[in-house]
Amino acid sequence: MHNNATRAETEKSEQADMHSESEKKIDELKAQIKELQQQRRELAGDNSQQAQDQLNMIDNQMIMLNTQLIALLNTQKEAATPYS
């Protein structure tokens, strides 16, 4: 019985660690997205080819970061939802 309680506590601790790591990664992704949004705003009035290329690169990076963010949020949501 004590062994089962210890195992349950260990699982809860591991889930909390995973949750906090997930939260950290989510915060990092959000910060990176905000930085890219700022860079995009700075380039908004520039119609040069170089600026357009940078905007395309920024847009692609934002798509990748948003995809990662959505995946993490979905994983976090699934982990928080009790099994049905």
Q: Is 64 helix (H, G, I), strand (E, B) or coil?
A: helix
Provide the whole-model pTM: 0.72
Contact in structure between 65 and 33 (CB atoms under 8 Å)? yes
Quote the tokens at residue 8: 């349950």
**pLDDT of 41-70, one tens digit each?**
999 889 999 999 999 999 999 999 999 999
Q: Which residue has the tokens 């600026």?
A: 51
- pLDDT score, position 72: 94
- pLDDT score, position 1: 58
Domains of the chain are 2-79 (1.10.287)
